[in-house]
Structure 1
Amino acid sequence: MTPAIKSDETRRAELLARKNQLETRIDQISGEFEEHDSKDWEEMATEREGDEVLEDLGAAAQNELRMIEAALTRMESDDYGYCVICGERIPEERLDLIPATPFCAEHAARH
């Protein structure tokens, strides 16, 4: 069964909701960095390990945020939902899984 095609308005709302979640996460991660005031060496080592995890999460959130911004820009120019390499329509199943993707599955595998 082929999934229903979502309207651009529905996709835009989903992307904006995800963008809001990511911005909140980034703010929370920034807040975590500011809260460190441990003086104990053992606690500082534990905090540093946690900082590395937070840095990775923050970088992933920022990357996804950039992808969402690019997808919203493609929506404005009516290019959303089409592969930026081959110009073919990206299947709905793929957009449901990765709404901000600029690539069809074939070209995503190459990038």
Structure 2
Amino acid sequence: MKSVATRKAELETRRSVLMSRIEEIGEELDAHDSKDWEELAVERESDEVLEDLGISAQNELRMIEAAMHRIEEGEYGYCVKCGSKIAEERLNVVPATPFCRTCAQSR
């Protein structure tokens, strides 16, 4: 069983990775200055993929921030909906999850 301190360190590491990724995506999106229509079309398609990746990273970052808040409040590892303890196996897969398996399935 991992300690809350270990989980917090893992979440902080993941947060750093996501923040770097978001920054890189922003830089990539700002770097396009193609004048050729064909290149511009390819860049636009790439931009859509990058934007989706950025949105996904931002969503995960929000989940991590919420988990960090629950750690500070002493509520980490407990379902925010029903209050049950979240299974260790679930936290291993989704460390920032706010829900136990039952409540996550009912959503």
TM-score scaled by length of structure 1 = 0.95
Task: Give 1:68 deviation, angstroms.
Answer: 0.2
Partner of 1:71: 67
Q: Deviations over 1:43-85 (max 9, x none)?
A: 0000000000001000000000000000000001110000011
Identify the match of residue 79 of structure 2 among 76, 83, 89: 83
Secondary structure at 2:76 match in 1: coil
- What amino acid maps onto 1:24 in structure 2? S
Task: Give 1:106 deviation, angstroms.
Answer: 1.0
Partner of 1:29: 25
- CA distance, structure 1, for counterparts of residue 106 and residue 37 of structure 2: 45
- CA distance, structure 2, for counterparts of residue 105 and residue 80 of structure 1: 15
- CA distance, structure 2, for counterparts of residue 14 and residue 52 of structure 1: 30
Partner of 1:62: 58
- What amino acid maps onto 2:13 in structure 1? A
- Within 5 Å, give how 1:1-111 maps onto structure 2: 5-111=1-107
Q: Deviations over 1:73-105 (max 9, x none)?
A: 000111000001110100000000000000011
- What amino acid maps onto 2:69 in structure 1? T
Structure 1 residues without counterparts, runs of 5 or longer: none
Q: 4+ residue runs of structure 1 moved beyond 3 angstroms?
A: none
Aligned alpha-carbon RMSD (Å): 0.5
Paired residues, what number?
Answer: 107
TM-score scaled by length of structure 2 = 0.98
